[in-house]
Amino acid sequence: MKRIFISCAVFTAILFSHYSASELSSLSDSELHLLHGQISVADVRQSYKQYKKRKQPAAAATLAEPRVSPLDLIGLNTNDLELTQGIELDLAIQVSFDFEYIDPDGSGISGSEGSIHLSGVHIGSSDTPLTADQIQSEQPFAESDLALVNNILIDVDPQAGMFITIEELGDQHGNGIDVVVNDIYLGDKAHSAGGFIIEDVSNFIQDSNLAINNQLFGSNLSTLDDGKQTEAGNWVPFYSKVLPIAGENQVDISSSLPGQDIGLPSISANTVIDASFVLNIDKVAWVDDGNEFGLAGVMIYQGVDTDNDGIDDTVGPARLTEMKLETVDHTAFDGSDVKALYIENLDFKADIAIQSIYVGQPENSLGALHIKGLDTAGTSLWIYPH
């Protein structure tokens, strides 16, 4: 399969209100040097590494040997697609923007206009835990604090669909993607409801974090060798398969990639999506006046029993299976006929481990939580205007 390699270093500031606009910050000569149409991926990674100071890796853990179906362990495959050509992307990105959603008629017959406003949304990656000053700052990240997303592969079957792979979110030392929201306004912009942070989102499963989970929840999980000779854990790639379905509401936007003879599949109003992934998140928290309420040490995965002894021993991917998106005619709660976005078969299966539910700081823990065997098969959702 032929691939085109693209590397981007991006700094973006976006403002969303009643209108949208964007602003690009100036890049230095060294940063501009990273922008190429086709270059060696290995060289790109080496250039990115100069931006970040890395944490010291922990000792490696014993790895599981696969004895079950590869689909249970790695997620999706491409057997039902005839992939021809595609592109590969590496990203080093830092983004800031404001976001506002406006409901012009509010709720009820005589409802007034309402809004949800996120002021100061920042995406980057700090190599140290986020501080209170950073969370409240309009510029929480230094210019070198770039979120890394490496080996994004987009492969296409022009007749059937596309297969998307993301191999690496963040780095192998615990530095993932950070998200800071300075203020959340619910209707009244005069009073903030607080801020929000998501710290170190990554698909690199560190041995040290897995050891904590094993101790907390009495498990004995390990990760499969990713083949990359990582010393402190292993990567678990994100996979997604997107299959448009022909139907009455199909909107054909088939095209080729700019400047390349790579046909993309048509995108229709009826689409089936599959996905598999493992995510580790250091912290998810609501922040108000420097105080936090949140979750620390969150891992979303699906345990796999490789030796059939009834006990999960390997970290496998959470799975979203054949979720179908359709635009349909629907009868609203008041009896009126409306168009709705119908999400059919929201079939999501996962285990979720949370090392700490805390108030103040993660060390002020209310306890840990382990959700086993989450299964939403058969769930459907209709979304429509009122």
pLDDT tens figures, 322-357: 999 888 888 888 888 888 889 998 999 999 999 999
Residue 326 CB partners (closer than 8 Å, separation 6+): 247, 249, 269, 270, 341, 342, 344
State whether residue 209 is helix, strand or coil: helix
For residue 52, what pLDDT is reported?
33
Asked if 271 and 244 touch (Cβ cutoff 8 Å), the reply is yes
State whether residue 47 is helix, strand or coil: helix
Instruction: Specify the range with the lowest mean pLDDT, choosing from 9-18, 38-47, 57-66.
Output: 38-47
Model-level pTM? 0.77
Question: Tell me: the pLDDT tens digits for 249-287?
Answer: 443 434 444 444 444 444 445 889 999 999 999 999 999
